[in-house]
Amino acid sequence: MGVRLLSLETLKKIREIEEEAKKTIDGAEAKVQEIIRKAEKEAEKIKAKSVEEGKKEAEKIVEEARKAVEEKAKKIEAEAESQIKSLREKASANMDKAVERIIEEVLGVKP
Amino acid sequence: MSQVVAKLGDEILEEARAEAQRRIAKAEEEAKKIIEEAKARAKEIVEEEKAKAEEEAKLLERRILSETRRKVSMKILEEKNRLIREAFREAYEKLKNVKNNLYAKSILHLIEASAPTIGSETVEVRFNRKDMERANKLLKGVKLSNVKLTVGKEPIETIGGFVLTTSDGRIRIDQTFEARLQYAEKFLKKEIAKILFAE
């Protein structure tokens, strides 16, 4: 029939080769898992760092805005103070005239 | 035979090594992609945080400025009102010491203007104690047609002016300086503000 049976030794050798090939693939697969795990870990680190960085940037923006707006508010308050001062000066200069007008109204006749 | 097996073995192992390399290379590619995606996402996170902060900063600015403007407007308004009240307070103090001839002129004018409006033929005029004593002098020269004026016997508490009542006491016109001042404070406020704060 032309069929030649493989010897035990040959079979053993083939099994050894298959074992070695499997080992090589398994080793590579472990390395693959390690590469992916490492990359994912690194990715998480990058994202976590960016969250921190984002927070810091945000705090800086808000803080700078707060300082700027507080300056603006101070200016508005200073303008108001100056307006009040001017009102007091005008009132002081015109008080007699205003009082005279009130008295005229109450008396019903011109003083 | 053993040579065939050895050759086959080498081929299988070579193929396994090549497959291992392919898988590792693929994993490295994937890892690179994971890192790149993470970096891109990281940029987005920072930009998102910055955008949120800028929005927050705008709101903060709007809130602080509107609160400051409201506060200073209130302060200015309060100061204006205080100065107006001061004018009325000063007027009140001066009304306590109006010169006699001007005071008499005022009483005469106010009685002549208000007594006919009460709608009664007999009208009682009530003064403070001081004016009761000089009532005849104050009322001398009052010109009223169809109204008989009598002076009340009970003094009233006032710095000046008088109260008119019908004989049955049902109608009353308060012309004391306090009442007139209180009334004036309501309708004269704008005019006084205009005088006080003129250039």
Answer yes or no: do B112 and B87 share one domain.
no
Nearest-CA distance B153 → chain A (Å): 24
Answer yes or no: do B88 and B108 share one domain.
no
**Residue A22 contacts B where some CB pair is shorter than 8 Å:** yes
Nearest-CA distance A94 → chain B (Å): 5
Q: Which of B61, B95, B129 is the endpoint of a domain?
A: B95
**Residue A68 contacts B where some CB pair is shorter than 8 Å:** yes
Could B184 and A105 be called an inter-chain contact, meaning their C-beta atoms sit closer than 8 Å? yes
What pLDDT is recorded for position A12?
86
Closest CA to B160 of B96, B89, B93, B92: B96
Q: Which of B95, B110, B129 is the endpoint of a domain?
A: B95
Answer yes or no: do B49 and B61 share one domain.
yes
Answer yes or no: do B106 and B163 share one domain.
yes
Query: How many distinct structural domains can be found in chain B?
Result: 2
Q: Residue B27's domain spans which residues?
A: 1-95
Answer yes or no: do B7 and B72 share one domain.
yes
Answer yes or no: do B9 and B80 share one domain.
yes
Answer yes or no: do B53 and B134 share one domain.
no
Query: Are the C-beta atoms of B65 and A76 separated by less than 8 Å?
Result: yes
**Residue A3 contacts B where some CB pair is shorter than 8 Å:** no
Q: Which of B95, B118, B133 is the endpoint of a domain?
A: B95
Answer yes or no: do B8 and B84 share one domain.
yes
- Digitized pLDDT (tens) for each residue of chain B, 199 residues in all: 578 888 888 999 999 999 999 999 999 999 999 999 999 999 999 999 999 999 999 999 999 999 999 999 999 999 999 999 999 999 999 999 999 999 999 999 999 999 999 989 999 999 999 999 999 999 998 998 889 999 999 999 999 999 999 988 899 999 999 999 999 999 999 999 999 999 8
State the ipTM, two decimals. Answer: 0.83
- Digitized pLDDT (tens) for each residue of chain A, 111 residues in all: 455 667 888 888 888 899 999 999 999 999 999 999 999 999 999 999 999 999 999 999 999 999 999 999 999 999 999 999 999 999 999 999 999 999 999 999 987
Q: Which helix (H) or strand (E) holds A39?
A: helix A8-107
Nearest-CA distance B68 → chain A (Å): 6
